[in-house]
Each structure stands twice: as C-alpha cells, then as structure tokens.
Amino acid sequence: GEVLAAVRVLAGLHAANERAGCKLPFTEFHNPQLSAAVNLRREYILWLQAADGRSPPPPLSLPTGDGGSTQHHHHHPHATTPLVSLCQTPCLLTPEAKSRILQGEAHLQKEAEMSASAREALMQGLHPAASVFLDIAVRRSSLLRDAAQQLAGRPPHHLKRPLRVTFVSQGVPEEGVDQGGVSREFFQLLVSEIFQPQYGMFTYNEESRTFWFNPASACLEEAGAVAEWRLVGALLGLAIYNGIILDVHFPQAVYKKLLGEPVGLPDLTEAFPSLGRSLQALLDMDPE
C-alpha cells in the first residue's frame, strides 16, 4: 500500500517534469533500491495478464486541471490508470532492470515460438527438433550477403526462434557449438562491416562520436534500398533480442524518432555539434 502510493507520487512527479520540459534529467527518477528489490518476472507477468488480450496497461498518467494528462503523446490518454505492475512506471526502473525485463520477455517469446514450431513440424510429419531454431550459416568472407540471403523472406515469427549461428569455411562448418559466443562474434563482425564508411550506409561524426544515416548513400537510389535498410534493422533487432550488446552509438534523435517524439535543434547539436552551434549562432544574431 505505502510503496504503491509512493510509486504513484514519483510517477506523477516524473510526468510533471516531462510536461515542464524535463527540468530534471530522467536519471534522477531511477530507483536502484526498488529495481533491485522487486521481482521483475512477476511484475512483467502481471502486466501481461492485466492486458487479457488487449494492449498492456499504459504508463501512469498525471491528471491535470484541463481534464487531460501529462502522458507522452505517443501513449493512449488515460485520465486515471490503475497501477497493475511496476512495468507501468519504467521511469523508476534502472537501465539494468529494464534490460532484464527485455531479456525475460525474449526468453518467453523464444519458448513460445519453439513450442509452436515443434507442433507445426509434427503436423507436417517432420522431426520437431528440425525447425525450432533460427539457423544461420555464413562464410566469413561473405558475411553480410549470406546473412541477407538466409533472412530474406523469413516470416517475422521465425526471427523469434533461438538463434544458432554456424561459420562455414570452404563448405565445411567450423568446430564449435553456438552457446552465445559464436552469435556474439557473428554480430560483432557484421556490425563492423555494415558501419564501415566504404559500405556507405552510415557516416560517423568524430565530434559527437555517433553514427548517422548517410544521405548520400548509393543504396538510397537503388530499387532495393528499402529492403536493405530493413535488413540492417532486422539484424540490429536480432542482436538486441538475443541479448548481445553492440558497439554502435546513435544520438538520442534516433530513439526519439522511434518513439514518435519531436526533435529539435538541441538534438541536431548533439548529433552534429559544429553545425548545431552555427545554427544557434545565426538564431542569436541581432536582426538589426
């Protein structure tokens, strides 16, 4: 009771802070003690159960005098949202706690997809173990091409299967069972190749130390450009889904666009500091 009441108050303060333009950094609302003490698996399952076939309960909102709410515009408005799970107060959870929730969710999805794949195989008269994994066999000399060919045309639910990567050399699989290390090496090599300047999809800003989409990329002019960008997105998503940390740094503007949030000059300045400062200087000039 008291804990839930405190959680509601903190969530309300966080919402008010966002409404006021984030006067306090979001890290001020992280609660390491709460994140460490709570049973994250239980909270996630409660959150799913409360959905009961509908969208999961949204984050808490703070009622305002005009009948609206301080929720972000990308959430559905709810003047009063019942507190079902701490998954509704992500502002209070540490990044480590959120990461554990995502890993737990991925684990549950993998189990569900393995069961569904095994049932489908049995109905087709196949051995159930033959199709429960997302198997990818690649040559080190043709990493991206091999991965693209094997992922192309795969239905989305296949990508939720447990990943199993095999490196092939001269037509012979390399020794080693993929228990995480092979997949990690696969993604590290793949990301290194995709983000190379000569590949042309991304540029790197030395000042901000972040990557950005290359507006002059040749692939943007080709017919298969959308498919290529989707492939890169699918590969990055697969890495996250399988709990693999990648050495890829994007500015916050990328994540804001994913969330449907507006971006402005401060975001431009973060990604391209010199350009942002120059534009700000123009804005600050006396028109006289």
**Whole-model pTM above 0.75?**
no
Which domains occur in the chain, in start order?
A: 2-93 (no CATH), 133-250 (3.90.1750.10), 253-284 (no CATH)
230: pLDDT strictly greater than 60: yes
Instruction: Give the residue from 3, 70, 60, 61 showing the smallest Cα distance to 31.
Output: 3
Per-residue DSSP letters for 180-217?
SHHHHHHHHHHHHHHTSGGG-SEEEETTTTEEEE-TT-
Residues 101-113 have pLDDT tens digits of: 999 999 988 988 8
The overall average pLDDT reported for the chain is: 83
Q: According to the model, what pLDDT value does residue 48 have?
A: 86
Residues 128-175 have pLDDT tens digits of: 666 788 989 999 888 888 998 888 878 888 899 999 999 998 778 787
Question: pLDDT-derived band of residue 30, with 50, 70 and 90 as boundaries?
Answer: very high
248: pLDDT strictly greater than 50: yes
Residues 185-204 have pLDDT tens digits of: 999 999 988 998 888 889 99
264: pLDDT strictly greater than 60: yes
CA distance 151 to 166: 14
Highest-scoring range by mean pLDDT, 61-75, 195-209, 211-225? 195-209
Question: pLDDT-derived band of residue 54, with 50, 70 and 90 as boundaries?
Answer: low
Q: According to the model, what pLDDT value does residue 178 have?
A: 60
CA distance 189 to 63: 49
CA distance 39 to 5: 18
78: pLDDT strictly greater than 50: no
Half-sphere exposure of 31 (CA within 13 A, CB side): 16
